Structure 1
């Protein structure tokens, strides 16, 4: 078992308390341990971030860009080592982990480019001999809280733009998957990020919540996770003037119309549903099919799902990795059992995979359910596992109605050969991401990402939209006449 240090004030530190990190493919032996920081350590992290911000905000944007570019290079150079750690603590396949590490580097590169660009707009002014412009400034010290499902790419998505804009950060990685975020911190540190600009708080969130959320120096919080925690953060902020960016839950739907290429749709939906064992914010969890092709598509979908091979992420033959923890595995199985009690039919899967060495891991077979009513919990609540719900509808209008029958609004897809139907779907689907004949994914670094309704807040991630969260606008008028 490796002992990892965390980053505070430009130094790698340890404490007397530790948290063990386990491999969900075999939870018997810890693979690493990280420091369990105390509330006093959190306060110190904010002290350091405050000093780091005072320096970093005045650092040339070209120097900021250099740090991000060099950090991206280091992530790529260390890709194999990083991917191995992502797989070891999260469980996803090495192919998925390598993709995550590469995409994290892409985020750093992209925002290095944005750091070099203009930061304001010249405006007309009605007053004579006066020029007015706007400028964007960093907002200060931002708390970054990232989840366990994408433990490297999510902090990269959050940290890269706020650092490019000149902010400082206190970063809290998920307790279950801290090593991945520490790789990102090490790359930034080794690239020359000044001391205190980034501080990593490892530890048990329940013990640190008050110190993390209540510090008066926080100017913004960016959080990815459950709606229950997101709501708790909102309530905790109360009347404080603190920005909150939340990427929360989803119950993403894919629609298969009667004219679709059914085989292609089945292949793409299985990829969208069962990649990372369904532990993606954008994973498809509801499939809505026009009735004339429902039976044929169901057969194709089940056949495609049953080709998946469960196993550890280190095995090249694995196409369905374990869930992230015993708790997550048990939660998914409980959701399936509840669905069956509420009338659902299991078409395939629906149980843990405990064969051989998999008995020591967190495996759930790919699961497809039918006969689910809109009143059932599994139609409405996020499962976050390898579970799909099938539903038949009569026509396009009913399909769109079923997509929008949710408190969430993150992602949706439609499969059709009808260009008019595709455009109508994009118009009428109440969600932040729409796909046509492809998977419900998070897409690329330069594309704005975020959901509607209970799936998120008004601040988007990715692209230049994210700068609305991490910068403030100042208007400056200059009179140059006599």
Structure 2
């Protein structure tokens, strides 16, 4: 029996392919459940021509009209929430609650940028010359390539497409091959809302076969990438030679700190949510836990008891499952102790038990490298100074949290921890659409996503002076 298929959007048309990519449900990977087109390099090149033509139309469309279309797309995402959430659950393995929240948040992005697209897009500035009016205005860049990962298959495309489209750009979207259907539902909402042909295009295909066509097309003005450091850093170098603007959101090794005086029951709830939500498969997940020696013996049993209640969803694939288990095995080989979990769950799905490692030292790989799964590494520290030093002892700088009853400690943590996102008495995750988001150092590029900062990446500044005297 042939599998059902989904077409992709290119140049305003829904198209299939001569070849197809299988999509698997991570809860049961024995057989694929769906197929999407495996586009060729030639088809990708044609899509860039479509996007260039779409950009000419979209940039000439008034900002008010563009905003109305984005608002309609947001409404369609809300109307179709249940259907889209089902697709997220099926291809990614999230719980139904997590998937519904993701679909709702994606709609929020288009609501927010529909409003932002109506705001001012420049300013007047003083000029020493008489009878001269001087200012600057922001203009769209052109064709933007958005490369998105499997862990947030709808939110991350929405995070990129909403500001890019509000600014007047055309977009070529390349979703992860493991989770392409969420992106196709997003494209459907935008298409049905009235986005002109060529303004939104989705490339589904095998990266090895289309990467050169996807990355080296001269019509690309900017690339926004979310994914691993190895790929992201190679992209940065590859694009810099052509002067292509690059935005990246890469890895993290996020830490939460529990100080003496913290409300321990509330801290347990926050840490468990931050570490094990989405089975630990999110960039802002807490993967390092630093506990003040003064409260360690009281806090750890509370934490383990709460984690033991969890029943996590699957990881996205067998490969991800094997990789997470390999991280755990290596940590044990290097001297860590499994306080809870530590193994995969037998069966047709890609499950790994929620895992807590103690006895972790700074020279262990599990303390340094991103695991991207349900694994929490615990260390004991003596006070705030040692905690801040330990949080900063990483090449990453995405998110960190501190739990404390001291306002002075909270302010010191905020000032001295070198991360793009700082939380006090709340989780490392959960940043909203209007809040600038992004990391420091090896966690990403200087360009932030979300909020008004995103529009800086998707626009260029043109300065003008008009002499109106005789």
Question: What TM bracket, shorter-length normalisation?
Answer: over 0.9
CA–CA distance in 2 between the matches of 1:259 and 1:421? 11
Q: Matches of residues 86-165 of structure 1 in structure 2 within 5 Å?
A: 86-165=88-167
Aligned to 2:397: 409
| Structure 2 residues without counterparts, runs of 5 or longer | none
CA–CA distance in 2 between the matches of 1:305 and 1:399? 23
Is the Cα contact below 8 Å between 1:57 and 1:138 reproduced in 2? yes
Q: Choose the corresponding residue for 2:263, options 256, 261, 281.
A: 261
CA distances 1:171-208 after superposition (whole Å, capped 9, x unpaired): 10100000000000000000000000111100111211
TM-fit CA distance, 1:442: 4.2
2:322 is aligned with 1:371: no
CA–CA distance in 2 between the matches of 1:413 and 1:382? 17
2:428 is aligned with 1:440: yes
CA distances 1:445-477 after superposition (whole Å, capped 9, x unpaired): 000000000000000000010111110001111
Aligned to 1:292: 294
CA–CA distance in 1 between the matches of 2:236 and 2:413? 32
Q: Matches of residues 76-91 of structure 1 in structure 2 within 5 Å?
A: 76-91=78-93
TM-score scaled to structure 1, two decimals? 0.96
TM-score scaled to structure 2, two decimals? 0.99
2:10 is aligned with 1:5: no
CA–CA distance in 1 between the matches of 2:66 and 2:416? 41
Aligned to 1:349: 341
Aligned to 1:466: 454
Segment of structure 1 superposing worse, 272-281 or 234-243: 234-243
CA distances 1:332-358 after superposition (whole Å, capped 9, x unpaired): 00000000000000000000112xxxx
2:291 counterpart SS class: strand
Is the Cα contact below 8 Å between 2:288 and 2:378 reproduced in 1? yes
TM-fit CA distance, 1:394: 0.9
2:149 is aligned with 1:172: no
CA distances 1:392-429 after superposition (whole Å, capped 9, x unpaired): 01110000000000000000000001111101100011
Q: Number of residues paired by the alignment?
A: 468
Is the Cα contact below 8 Å between 2:140 and 2:459 reproduced in 1? yes
1:472 counterpart SS class: strand
TM-fit CA distance, 1:16: 1.2
Is the Cα contact below 8 Å between 2:239 and 2:245 reproduced in 1? no
TM-fit CA distance, 1:28: 1.3
Aligned to 1:302: 304
| Structure 1 residues without counterparts, runs of 5 or longer | 310-319
Is the Cα contact below 8 Å between 1:31 and 1:89 reproduced in 2? no
CA–CA distance in 2 between the matches of 1:39 and 1:442? 37
How large is the RMSD of aligned CA atoms in angstroms?
A: 0.7
TM-fit CA distance, 1:111: 0.3
Q: After the TM superposition, which segments of 4 or more aligned residues of structure 1 sit over 2 Å from their partners?
A: none
CA–CA distance in 2 between the matches of 1:439 and 1:322? 22
TM-fit CA distance, 1:238: 3.9
2:416 is aligned with 1:428: yes
